[in-house]
Amino acid sequence: MRKNSKRFAAVITAALLTGSCLTGCGDKDDDKTTAAPATTAVTEAAVSTEEASTEAPAPDTSATDVAEADVPVPEGYHLVWHDEFNGAELNPDDWNYETHEVGWVNHELQEYVPSTDYAFVKDGELVIQPVKVIKDDGKPYYYSGRVNTQNKHDIKYGRIEARLKVPTGRGFLPAFWMMPQEEQFYGQWPCCGEIDIMEVLGNQTDTLYGTLHYGEPHKQNQGTYKLESGSFAEEYHVFAIEWEPGEIRWYCDGQQYYSTNDWFT
């Protein structure tokens, strides 16, 4: 493991993921640029009428250390942000609700709605849940929640982790992942890159996928981790990456199961 003078950790704990996508973490204290995704926002790229910049967005260097009590931090790191979901609702200083229409990507059936009906805090857990509604026309409609930390906690390099539990059932695709803060600078997906820290299929809940998407045409580097017994729906597990210049490593419950150092954009 490469030794750096400064390492940063962003931690999201006690999160119950019961549908859709959860994102978190961000971009700190490094003056180097990289062809990999720059931060963790998950948003649709906006079309700009301004001429594109020729310089990469400057990383946010305003982070300060936060209290590390009761939050395990790996040796060599110091904590820059964590959320234990101890409040009555998501803190708007930390989180954004996303909105997306049906079928926006991946042929998804649900509409992402900024409502506490679908993403809310309860008993120290963030709950993200899809809901099926039969309307007057007799047709089923699906709604779900999706949140990110774009422009609030944007991490470039460090350790990013969350403690999660997933739903079970065909059609579910819970995910914890990273997208650039400024997607339009790099170009639309997949040119901008994407780091999937965790994806688990609802009908295959014993298998974890960690993936780096990049390039044009689209390429991906992917590792998998399969539980010896049980499933990711039965209890909480800690999913993490360690991202350094030129290398990304994926972990489940502290065990490294994949790494890559080969990508381009």
Catalytic site positions: 194, 199
Instruction: Look up residue 50 and give its amino acid.
Output: E
How far is the C-alpha of 30 from the C-alpha of 206, rounded, in Å? 36
DSSP 48: P
Cβ neighbours of 246 (radius 10 Å): 14
3-class state of residue 5 by DSSP: coil
Dist CA 241 CA 220 (whole Å): 16
Q: Are 246 and 198 in contact (CB under 8 A)?
A: no
Q: Cα dist. 179→29, 94, 115, 118, 175 in Å?
A: 18, 16, 22, 22, 12
Instruction: With beta carbons less than 8 A apart as the criterion, state whether 178 and 195 touch.
Output: yes
Contact 162, 149 (CB under 8 A): no
- Cα-based angle 111, 116, 118 (whole degrees, multiple of 5): 40
Tokens representing 49 are: 């009428």
